[in-house]
Amino acid sequence: MNFRRPPFFAATLALALAACDGERSGAAGEIVEIWAHAGQESERRVLREQVARFNALQSDMQSDLQVRLTLIPEGSYNAQLQAAAVAGDLPDLLEFDGPFLYTYVWQGRLRPLDALLPEGVQAGLLPSIIEQGTYHGRLWSVGTFDSGLGLYADRVQLDQAGIRIPDLESPWDATEFDDALERLAALDADGQVLDLKLNYAGEWYTYGLSPLIQSAGGDLIDRTDHLRAEGVLDGQSAVGAMRRIQSWIIKGRVDPNIDDAAFATRRVALALGGHWNYPRYSARLGDDLLLLPLPDLGQGPKTGQGSWCWTVTADSRYPQAAVDFLAFLLQPEQVLAMSEANGAVPATREAIARSPLYRPGGPLDLFVRQLEGGYALPRPATPAYPVITAEFQKAFDRVRGGAEVQSALHRAARVIDTEIKDNQGYPLIGRAREEALR
């Protein structure tokens, strides 16, 4: 039995500590408070260096502006942010995971960036960054990096099975992909040839697998006004795509990837994966590593996008100073430094051109072309996103376990629609409206 207190207490304690921390501000000059998630060691180091460099630059310019960084553990980051927002304790500049943006905008916590961030900086950003940060016609957040999703492949195994190597212009279609799986399976010891990163679970299901649904013409929610999931998430196209994924699993083509090494040990020939998988895969497979687009299930190949991004809070006392720091983070050297630390796609064209991995012809060039070319769909821009993703994850778990696809998706769609209705379709009211019109 469990003798520990539930983890709320830990979260509350951390919040209390964070709140105490905040009260020390305002000692001398302008202190811009920044919260970020404590990512990998390398990311934390780069961010700390960036803060130090920015502060040093300010001192050189005789400015008394200083930036103070607080790192918050990633696991409970969003829950802590929500609690701090309710308590009115948000900092000036805030980092959070992309698709949660819309909830914060609707709650009136954020301030639009488009009027604050220099036009030139905005113009240099990847379209996917702007797309994810836009809600109700205003730009609320920008990231210094984006994510890339693709299909990693083992060139040797594809050649042995005599499978054509696709690219973005001529991707595998559905039958070709199914056929490729069977041909690979015929040469494979256990018949498991595809890694869908099923071990990741959680947000990965939505991020990594909903592009397959979108490629088939379905989606998580109707994208025109984001008010309806029924008929879309449980529509013909979405159901068809999920049945296809389920058939791969049932036929035993998908490796459960429990050890997170299915592809790195060359146990499978194909692996759905993100930019973060590249360093390990390229170290193991070298020149045999291919990066391919996802299969085209009818409406062209689709992929995921979105990652951590920055936003200025509505109650910030120093919004311009916060944006100055953000503009500093978007300078090519800084974008490249962060991209080197976490391997993600640099968010600006200038940085991409100078990145050995992502420049045209570089090994990860495909990720950039996907983000630039409209292949990447942001996760739905609605405050209902947390419910959408939670329900989709549950539905996917059911489908994965062999449940009937139509009813699993229908159940998810109904819960999502009830949630939207309960929130009256998320009308732009109160502080959020004021901010959107600012």
**Which residues are near other proteins by CB under 8 A?**
1-4, 6-8, 78-79, 82-83, 85-86, 103, 106-109, 201-202, 256, 258, 386-387, 390, 394, 397-398, 400-401, 403, 419, 422-424, 429-432
Q: In the complex, what is the shortest distance from the CB of residue 395 to other proteins, in angstroms, rounded to a whole number?
A: 10
CA 185, chain centre distance (Å) = 31
Q: In the complex, what is the shortest distance from the CB of residue 13 to other proteins, in angstroms, rounded to a whole number?
A: 15
From the number of C-beta atoms within 10 Å of its C-beta (0-12, 13-18, 19+), residue 207 rates as: buried
Q: Rounded distance, CA 56 to CA 62, Å?
A: 10
Q: 167 or 260, CB closer to other proteins?
A: 260
Query: DSSP string of 338-403?
Result: HHHHH-PEESBHHHHHH-TTTSTTSTTHHHHHHHHTT-B-PPP-STTHHHHHHHHHHHHHHHHTT-
- DSSP conformational letter for 62: T
Q: Rounded distance, CA 436 to CA 438, Å?
A: 6
Q: 83 or 238, CB closer to other proteins?
A: 83
Q: 44 or 431, CB closer to other proteins?
A: 431
Q: In the complex, what is the shortest distance from the CB of residue 155 to other proteins, in angstroms, rounded to a whole number?
A: 27
Q: 83 or 212, CB closer to other proteins?
A: 83
Q: In the complex, what is the shortest distance from the CB of residue 261 to other proteins, in angstroms, rounded to a whole number?
A: 12
Q: In the complex, what is the shortest distance from the CB of residue 43 to other proteins, in angstroms, rounded to a whole number?
A: 24
Q: 77 or 152, CB closer to other proteins?
A: 77
Q: 219 or 391, CB closer to other proteins?
A: 391
Q: Which one, of 282, 253, 249, 133, lies nearest residue 191 by Cα? A: 253
Give backbone dihedrals phi and psi of 112, rounded to 5 degrees, phi first: -60, 145
CA 362, chain centre distance (Å) = 22
Q: Rounded distance, CA 195 to CA 151, Å?
A: 9
Q: In the complex, what is the shortest distance from the CB of residue 9 to other proteins, in angstroms, rounded to a whole number?
A: 11
